[in-house]
Amino acid sequence: MTAGARNRFGSMLLHGLAIALALVYAAPIVFMLVGSLKPNEAVLAEASSWRAFVPFGASLDNYAAVFRRVAFTRFLVNSVVITGSIVAAGLVINSMAAYAFARLRWPGRGLVLMGVLALLILPFEAIAVPLFYQVTLLGWRNTYAAQILPFVANPLSIYLFYAFFLGVPRELEEAARVDGASVPRIFVQIIVPNCRAVFATVAIVSFLFYWGFYLWPLMVTIGPAVRPLPVAIAEFQTMPPLQWGDIMAFGVMMVAPVLAFFLVFQRAFVEGVAATGLKE
- How many Å apart are CA 75 and CA 230, to the nearest integer? 9
Span between the terminal Cα atoms of the chain, in Å: 47
Residue 72 vs 269, nearer CB to another protein: 269
Nearer to another protein, 67 or 214 (CB): 214
Q: Does 264 bind another protein (CB under 8 A)?
A: no
- The alpha carbon of residue 113 and the mean position of all alpha carbons in its chain are separated, in whole angstroms, by 26
- Contact between 214 and 128 (Cβ < 8 Å): no
Q: Are 97 and 164 in contact (CB under 8 A)?
A: no
- For the CB of residue 76, give the shortest distance to another protein in the complex, in Å: 13
Residue selected from 42, 91, 198, 248 as contacting another protein according to rule CB under 8 A:
248
Interface with another protein (CB under 8 A), residue from 6, 8, 11, 264: 11
| Shortest CB 24 distance to another protein, Å | 10
Sole binder of another protein in the list 2, 68, 114, 123 (CB under 8 A): 123
Interaction with another protein in 75-114: which residues (CB under 8 A)? 93-94, 96-97, 99-101, 104-107, 109, 112
C-beta closer to another protein: residue 1 or 121:
121
Tell me which residues in 179-208 interact with another protein (CB under 8 A): 182-184, 187, 208
User: Is residue 60 within a helix (H) or strand (E), and if so which, with residue range?
Assistant: none
State the Cα–Cα distance between residues 36 and 138, nearest whole angstrom: 41
Burial class of 117 by CB neighbour count within 10 A (0 to 12, 13 to 18, 19+): middle
* CA 202 vs CA 49, 100, 135, 226: distances in Å: 42, 17, 26, 25
Verify binding: residue 270, another protein, rule CB under 8 A: yes
**Which DSSP symbol is given to 268?**
H
Q: Which of 21, 77, 88, 264 binds another protein (CB under 8 A)?
A: 21
Q: Rule CB under 8 A: which of 138-167 touch another protein? A: 149-153, 155, 158
By CB under 8 A, how many residues form the interface with another protein? 95
Q: Which of 65, 128, 192, 268 binds another protein (CB under 8 A)?
A: 128
The 10 Å Cβ neighbour count of residue 78 is 23
